[in-house]
Amino acid sequence: MRAPSTISAVDPHDDDALRAWYTAVEAGARADRDSPLVSTYAAFTFTMRSPGPRRRRLPFAAYDGAGQVVGAMLVELPLTSDLDTFEVEIDVPPAHRRRGVGRVLWSHAESVAAEHGRTVAQTEVHVPATHTPATWPGSLFAEGLGFSSEHVEDHLVLDLPAPGTDARVAPGYRLRGWAGPCPEEDVAAYAALQSAMNADVPTGGMSRDVVEVTPEMVRTSEARLAESYLTVVAVAETDDGQPVGYTLVFAPHEDPANLLQDDTLVLRAHRGHGLGRVLKEANERRLARHCPDARRMHTWVAETNTAMQATNARLGFRAVEKLHEMERRL
């Protein structure tokens, strides 16, 4: 079968073109997976029509001779760190696979990277639990392009409402939290915790700069996230008010059934007291009030992060996929 005849940038302000592109993204990303978490159309639309200061997102579509979208690609360009890298996602709906669509899109991605002076390509491949990288089409495609897996995380899912455990806050600590923006009196400490998370999170062999988060960055991120998500946060602190850990969850406005468990951090000096588990359970109770329609919580944890793996297992999370973060130098 013939390869696509045209690769074109998608105008994010052209709703018909962007919806056709998103339909291909969603069909390709969901195919043959158990519990995929795909960004909503509204989330994509906002980040492309109102680009932020730290990242630029460029959508491209592959069209056949009849003008039908047969493949979709998203190229992301970091703007304030990792300036030699670019991220690429290629999605081809099952009906249009094995026609060379993916390779033609990748060739276009290389041209975009050259135009912007990027020399390190990064991508993510989600391998279902019923497959291995040797049997999954996405892995085989990426490896065929020269990508190698540099970091592996488990995609875990918790069915909601969760039963909970009898975990209690250890003596000397207390919990509090919020839904929405961080209280003004806490924003400096919250930024410092996020900086510690960036320095501590496992990234394997991926090319990543450690970013120090400022209060201004927290506020910019909150304002942008609020367009698509409710952010729900729990913080652990000592009895004298020193913040020592946090966890946060994103609840999509357009997909209320699926929650995204993002950061969970306990500072090294305060580990071993079960704070990670009580933080997550406290946040689940807060989420139950704010997100009554939630049915699943998704999270990703490095294979090497044995402490957090054990915490999630006790909370009832189950593994559905392996996320391979892959990289190639051009």
- Give the mean model confidence (pLDDT) for residues 313-325: 96
Q: What is the mean pLDDT of the chain?
A: 96
CB 149 within 8 A of CB 122: no
Burial 265-277 (b: 16+ CB within 10 A, else e): bbbeebeebbbbb
CB 320 within 8 A of CB 155: yes
Task: Read off the pLDDT band of 2 (50, 70, 90).
Answer: low
pLDDT in tens, 223-262: 999 999 999 999 999 999 999 999 999 999 999 999 999 9
Task: Read off the pLDDT band of 5 (50, 70, 90).
Answer: confident
| Concatenated DSSP letters of 154-169 | EEEEEESS-------P
pLDDT in tens, 207-234: 999 999 999 999 999 999 999 999 999 9
Calculate what percentage of the chain has a pLDDT beyond 70: 99
Distance, CA of 270 to chain centre: 27
The label of the residue with tokens 């900086």 reads 195
The pLDDT value given to residue 4: 74
- Give the mean model confidence (pLDDT) for residues 34-45: 94
Q: How far apart are CA 156 and CA 261, in angstroms?
A: 10
Q: List alpha helices for the chain, DSSP H.
A: 15-30, 41-49, 101-115, 137-144, 187-200, 215-225, 275-290, 306-315
Q: Is the pLDDT of residue 165 over 80?
A: no
Q: How far apart are CA 59 and CA 41, in angstroms?
A: 13
The pLDDT value given to residue 262: 96
The pLDDT value given to residue 120: 98
Residue 231: φ, ψ to 5°:
-100, 130
Q: How far apart are CA 170 and CA 270, in angstroms?
A: 11
Characterize the bridge pairing of strands 243-252 and 229-238: antiparallel
pLDDT in tens, 41-69: 999 999 999 999 999 999 999 999 999 99
| Concatenated DSSP letters of 243-280 | EEEEEEEEEESS-TTEEEEEEEEE-GGGTTSSHHHHHH
Give pTM, 2 decimals: 0.95
pLDDT in tens, 169-206: 999 999 999 999 999 999 999 999 999 999 999 999 99
CB 326 within 8 A of CB 203: no
Would you call 11 helix, strand, or coil by DSSP? coil
Would you call 100 helix, strand, or coil by DSSP? coil
CB 155 within 8 A of CB 298: yes
Q: Is the pLDDT of residue 122 over 60?
A: yes
Task: Read off the pLDDT band of 1 (50, 70, 90).
Answer: low
Calculate what percentage of the chain has a pLDDT beyond 90: 96
- The H or E element that residue 56 is part of is strand 55-63
- Give the mean model confidence (pLDDT) for residues 94-101: 94
Q: Is the pLDDT of residue 134 over 80?
A: yes
Q: How far apart are CA 287 and CA 281, in angstroms?
A: 10
